Amino acid sequence: MIEPGKSTSGTSRTWSPAPDDGDRGTVPGPLLTLGVEEEFLLVDARTWRVVPAAPQVLSAVATRPQVHAEGTRYQVEIATPVADTADRLRDELAALRRMLAKEARAQGCRLLASPSPVLPVRTPPHLNDDEPRQREQFRRFGALTDNLVGCGRHVHVGTLDTDTAVAVANRVRPWLPTLIAIGANSPFWNGRDTGHASWRAMAWGTWPSAGLPPHFASTAHYRNAVELLLTSGAALDTKMVYWDMRPSGTWPTLEIRAPDMSPELDVAVLQAALGRALVAASLHALAAGEPAPQVSDDVLRLARWRAAHDGLEGYAIDPFTGTELPAATLAETLLDLLAPELAAAGDLEHTSATLTALFRDGSGAHRQRAIFARRENLSDVLHHLADATESV
């Protein structure tokens, strides 16, 4: 990925293989596809507290392969088919959300595109305890499993072989905090304001297998890092590699997992478009033989925390210089850097308009706090999230 102040290699979609020097995979063809996984909470339509209704909702939609169980019985997940355009991705997300929201209402629930339950959750949570893996996860990790009651959005960009996905990840990695700031939508957790714009990023980061991925010197380094998580007991299996970004263990994609879940479809499409453009820009850099940017792990760790704390409205830490600047300025810098890739994919107009709207109206976290401030009632926040989830 290019650094601020450096230009891209152009908008050509003709790729050529990069030299195999341990940091470069085989650069794929011009089509970068998109897929999105979205996790939702199920809340009681009267009390607004999470309810373990996932088995009933999943049973009602058992013929839909795009709907899955999640870590707890308070949650359901959708996975879109592979899309080659952002418009198609939006249509798929809208259709799946409408279907799930209808079935949730039939069970006396509301579907909530929220990273956090907002109100306190019964402890211990209702895990999917009919699965041995879930029971073992609870046995080994104890109270950390409380953080399973949180929802993210995972953007898959493909098609990428593992070597290429690892090399691309090194270039996308410095921008993960900016993606967290743009998507920040979890200021409330367990009945209180956490003082952070994305508490989910902080809570999820307590897992020993979560947080920022390392910078990988090679694919072998990546595989060794995963193996260390397994042999140390930090992860039960490769599904528990919870890094903010990883080569998918299931699909030939790079999976960007950093941002919060949000109810607005425009924000979902924005995150997907930015993810694809980051991958495209990184592929251009690979093809040009540009080295991966050298970013201090200490600076990037602090940049991630600052993004989770301030969100889009506050300040950010530039991952390349370590200096403080407005988070919106860093987001605009990212948009400028990715403009050629966004334009080539037909995503520039939507991405620019959606970011402008976020600058004007505030991030999801900002809007939640504004709604709460009117009556200081968290039910108002949950009502807003449920209504926005269904507004597709």
The DSSP line for 289-316 is TPPPP---HHHHHHHHHHHHHHTTTSEE
Mean pLDDT of the 94-119 span: 97
DSSP state of 145: G
Closest CA to 247 of 341, 164, 151, 152: 164
Closest CA to 175 of 262, 258, 86, 249: 258
So what's the pLDDT on residue 217? 95
Query: Amino acid identity of 197?
Result: A
Mean pLDDT of the 78-107 span: 97
Mean pLDDT of the 18-31 span: 44
Helix (H) or strand (E) holding 75: strand 75-79
Mean pLDDT of the 42-69 span: 95
Assess whether pLDDT exceeds 60 at residue 61. Answer: yes
Is there a contact between 14 and 306 (Cβ–Cβ < 8 Å)? no
Any idea where the domains of the chain sit in the sequence?
33-390
What is the number of helices (H) and of strands (E) in the chain?
13, 13
Token readout for 192 is 């209180």
Is there a contact between 138 and 64 (Cβ–Cβ < 8 Å)? no
Mean pLDDT of the 252-267 span: 97
> pLDDT confidence of 124, banded at 50, 70, 90?
confident
DSSP string, 29-58: -S--EEEEEEEEEEEETTT--B---HHHHH
> pLDDT confidence of 334, banded at 50, 70, 90?
very high
> pLDDT confidence of 30, banded at 50, 70, 90?
low
Assess whether pLDDT exceeds 70 at residue 355. Answer: yes
Closest CA to 204 of 251, 154, 247: 154
Helix (H) or strand (E) holding 214: none
Collapsing DSSP to helix, strand or coil, 122 comes out as coil
Assess whether pLDDT exceeds 60 at residue 104. Answer: yes
Dihedral Cα 157, 354, 39, 114, nearest 10 deg: 160
Average pLDDT, the chain: 91
So what's the pLDDT on residue 101? 97
- Residue 242 φ/ψ, nearest 5 degrees: -95, 20
Is there a contact between 176 and 105 (Cβ–Cβ < 8 Å)? no
Cα(219)–Cα(346) distance, integer angstroms:
32
Is there a contact between 37 and 79 (Cβ–Cβ < 8 Å)? yes
From the number of C-beta atoms within 10 Å of its C-beta (0-12, 13-18, 19+), residue 326 rates as middle
Mean pLDDT of the 6-29 span: 35
33-390 classified as CATH 3.40.30.10: no
So what's the pLDDT on residue 134? 85
So what's the pLDDT on residue 207? 97
So what's the pLDDT on residue 181? 98
CB within 8 Å of 175: residues ≥ 6 apart: 1, 278, 319, 334
Cα(29)–Cα(254) distance, integer angstroms:
15
Helix (H) or strand (E) holding 271: helix 265-287
Mean pLDDT of the 306-314 span: 98
